[in-house]
Amino acid sequence: MGNNVPTSIGDLMAILHDAVCEKWSFDYGHKELMLFFQSDDGKKRRMIYRGVYAHQMVSCDFWGPSPRIYGLEVVEKQSGFLYNQLVQTIAREAFEESFISELADGIETKMQFISGDVLCVLCKSISVE
């Protein structure tokens, strides 16, 4: 985890909590997911997930629509939904073992929004600019 997330999770949580997600986009050619947000201190920033293996957004709107981010957590590999889903697919499709090793070096995160929406991403690294 340490090499993949240059900002400590505590610092990242402080920046993301209650930030407004303005938009996000996925660059298929570079396998990058970019989240553009305005943090609580008014600064506009972007969070870049590089080397994305998989991502999933669940839209729930439990408490009504809201672009505000509640928090971010790093998911342990054993309980990571995306990681386990890919490993099972790899086993069924007989992909190379080296890909499983590559996945093991990745990072899986779960970002929760105040609305109840959840964005899960499995990638090589994350940075905030």
The pLDDT value given to residue 4:
52
The pLDDT value given to residue 96:
67
The pLDDT value given to residue 22:
95
- How is residue 76 annotated by DSSP? P
The pLDDT value given to residue 1:
37
The pLDDT value given to residue 3:
40
**Which amino acid belongs to residue 121?**
V
Contact 63, 115 (CB under 8 A): yes
Q: State the helix-helix crossing angle for 81-93 and 97-104, rounded to 10 degrees.
A: 170
- Per-residue pLDDT tens listing for the chain (129 residues): 344 554 566 677 788 989 999 999 999 999 999 999 999 889 999 999 999 999 999 887 777 788 999 999 999 877 888 998 888 887 777 666 677 778 888 899 999 999 989 999 999 999 888
Contact 45, 129 (CB under 8 A): yes
The structure tokens 């506009």 sit at: 44
Contact 116, 61 (CB under 8 A): yes
